[in-house]
Structure 1
Amino acid sequence: MAQTGPSAAAMAPEDVCCGTERLAVPVSGPWENLPAFQYTPELIAGPGAEQDPSEVTIQGCDCRGSNCVAELCSCLPHGTNYVRRTIVSGQRPVRECHIMCSCGESCPNRETQQGLQYQLQLCQRPGKGWGVCTLEDIPSGRFVCEYAGEVLGHEQARSRTLSQNPCANNYIIAVREHLHGGQILQTFVDPTHIGNVGRFLNHSCDPNLFMMPVRTHSMVPKLALFAARDIQAGEELCYDYSGKFFNQTPACETLDPEEPSSRKKCQCGARACSGFLPYESSLF
């Protein structure tokens, strides 16, 4: 069931988020040409979703006080996640305290639930359409934004992908988490019709952001984007759509030699550019 948002004319150049985020995200350029979509700051259940991301399915901790300790907090089975609001490691699972926890909203283990923390702006990028730039410096390891939209089942994600014009932008992302025993958890998120500022982030083969699955109250993970290095004001924010940052298992597969027409040229301009955007073979 495809849902459509308000027309671009209903948005304001002062804030593409329509007041739903902690900070406004202004638009630099012909904002009336923005694609029509409905803004959501969080994941929502879409067609075929096995779980509703708004439902609480993970038990909260019983910690007293506002600073959970890894050795005592059930939400920190893999150790401390953040030190001075900076992520400790991009290579291990992240689980945050949430609404059912006793520690309270001031607990530092709730970083991705604080909303936007830096002034961002939509801007036009040569050869890439719209993109996201930061208006202030962002230190390495800080949370920047979430990639939010509709959580889809695999068949619905595949159906939407196949129905798209090959020349159109494809916003659907497929994230795979490899667990012990060979089990694989898949999450498909589509912000095409309902999404957030993350839908405007472009790909780069040399990104300044990296994506991490972060769980709060639900087994459906937030797709959180963190600064991969110190980022200066004025830079465009980009991440690697393939998920190869930190040598993690790629979220997207490589080119199927029998499907060369499905590849799109990469316009990132990085010195080590692969030449093409990542390709998710399971959706074709």
Structure 2
Amino acid sequence: MDPQDVSGGEEGRPVPVCGEWTQLSAFQYSAELVAGPGAELDPSEVTIQGCECQGPHCSPEKCACLPHGENYHHRRLRSSQKAILECNVLCHCGESCANRETQQGLQFQLQVCQVPGKGWGLFTQENIPSGRFVCEYAGEVLGPEEACQRIRAQDPEANNYIIAVREHLHSGHILETFIDPTHVGNIGRFLNHSCQPNLVMVPVRTHSMQPRLALFAAQDIQPGEELCYDYSGMAFNFTPSSGHTQGKQKDRSQCKKCLCGTASCSGYLPFDATLFEAPT
């Protein structure tokens, strides 16, 4: 692993490691989602038909990818309360189309640093304006049974990287996505939890119905700040939809101490008991 770039050149910008880089657990870097055991969809397969827009940019009045209006304004996310559909490789619009924001890769200089008591964390070395795309949470896409098996096989003291995102549809159905960057993943695996986070996670679809988990700045972020999001998905959302997560919470003995240090800290990391139960 190169301490000058933990991504090994997979990202458009190098992501250096600050600290005892030899203590980093080995993993295969992937800037994108990969299909893992039990995945119903191959995230690399193009399954969404592109728009017919002509010219370099799309307009909400004509673009099939913008049924609810533009997703971004001056590169900033307009709302974290809806799933995003971006233009894809089959769209007729240009590469500079504003509706391709999360496909531009890393736009800010980030670094991985050791955090006292928490292990590793992801920090920014420059200002990040509110609403701007920061990075993706990429890894193996798992089926629910595989996700449960991996969770139950973990050492209770080990880091849990598996995230379960639940999208609540108007029909009443719930779409579940399980991502595990433990063995294959990107810099998103270094993000720590905070009860008062500066990032918000939003499902984004590009060329596949498999959502990518994009993290946007929830506020203006200053150089040197640690980047964090709420593992439960409750922050900035009217309906809890993601997490390591809330789910059916059991007694506190199953939860790990939260070390975010914020004024609103709950004292414990979010815990999703449903991942420890046999899948139906």
Hey, what's the Cα distance between the residues in 2 that align with 1:256 and 1:132?
28
CA deviation profile, 1:55-83 (whole Å, cap 9, x unmatched) = 11111000001110011000001110011
Q: Which moved more, 1:15-24 or 1:247-256?
A: 247-256
Please say if 1:51 is aligned against 2:41.
yes
Hey, what's the Cα distance between the residues in 2 that align with 1:37 and 1:262?
27
Match of 2:258 in 1: 266
Hey, what's the Cα distance between the residues in 2 that align with 1:14 and 1:64?
41
Helix, strand or coil for the counterpart of 2:228?
Answer: strand
Deviation at 1:92, TM superposition (A): 1.7
Match of 1:223 in 2: 213
Hey, what's the Cα distance between the residues in 2 that align with 1:89 and 1:70?
15
Hey, what's the Cα distance between the residues in 1 that align with 2:163 and 2:239?
15
Hey, what's the Cα distance between the residues in 2 that align with 1:211 and 1:281?
21
Helix, strand or coil for the counterpart of 1:132?
Answer: strand
1:20-31 matched pairs, under 5 angstroms: 20-31=10-21
Please say if 1:165 is aligned against 2:155.
yes
CA deviation profile, 1:103-134 (whole Å, cap 9, x unmatched) = 02111100000111000000011110000010
Counterpart of 1:177 (choices 148, 167, 170) is: 167
Match of 1:118 in 2: 108
Hey, what's the Cα distance between the residues in 1 that align with 2:91 and 2:142?
28
Please say if 1:206 is aligned against 2:200.
no
Please say if 1:232 is aligned against 2:222.
yes
Hey, what's the Cα distance between the residues in 2 that align with 1:254 and 1:275?
17
Match of 2:183 in 1: 193
Match of 2:3 in 1: 13
Helix, strand or coil for the counterpart of 1:210?
Answer: strand
CA deviation profile, 1:148-192 (whole Å, cap 9, x unmatched) = 000000000000000000000000000000001211100000000
Please say if 1:243 is aligned against 2:233.
yes
Deviation at 1:253, TM superposition (A): 1.9
Hey, what's the Cα distance between the residues in 2 that align with 1:247 and 1:173?
17
TM-score (norm. length: structure 1):
0.94
Alpha-carbon contact 1:78-1:93 (below 8 Å) kept: no
Number of aligned residues: 273
Deviation at 1:261, TM superposition (A): 3.0
Letter in 1 for 2:50: G
Helix, strand or coil for the counterpart of 1:190?
Answer: strand
Hey, what's the Cα distance between the residues in 2 that align with 1:85 and 1:214?
15
Letter in 1 for 2:253: S
Match of 2:69 in 1: 79
Letter in 1 for 2:8: C
Please say if 1:282 is aligned against 2:274.
yes
Hey, what's the Cα distance between the residues in 1 that align with 2:140 and 2:165?
14
Hey, what's the Cα distance between the residues in 1 that align with 2:225 and 2:272?
28
Helix, strand or coil for the counterpart of 2:31?
Answer: coil
CA deviation profile, 1:172-222 (whole Å, cap 9, x unmatched) = 000000001211100000000000000000000000000000010111111
Hey, what's the Cα distance between the residues in 1 that align with 2:133 and 2:265?
25
RMSD value, Cα: 1.0
* Identity %, equivalent residues: 66
Letter in 2 for 1:33: Q
Hey, what's the Cα distance between the residues in 1 that align with 2:194 and 2:204?
22
Deviation at 1:254, TM superposition (A): 5.1
Alpha-carbon contact 1:78-1:92 (below 8 Å) kept: no
**Which sections of structure 2, spanning at least 5 residues, go unmatched?**
none
TM-score (norm. length: structure 2):
0.96
CA deviation profile, 1:199-257 (whole Å, cap 9, x unmatched) = 00000000000000001011111100000000000000000000012233222225633
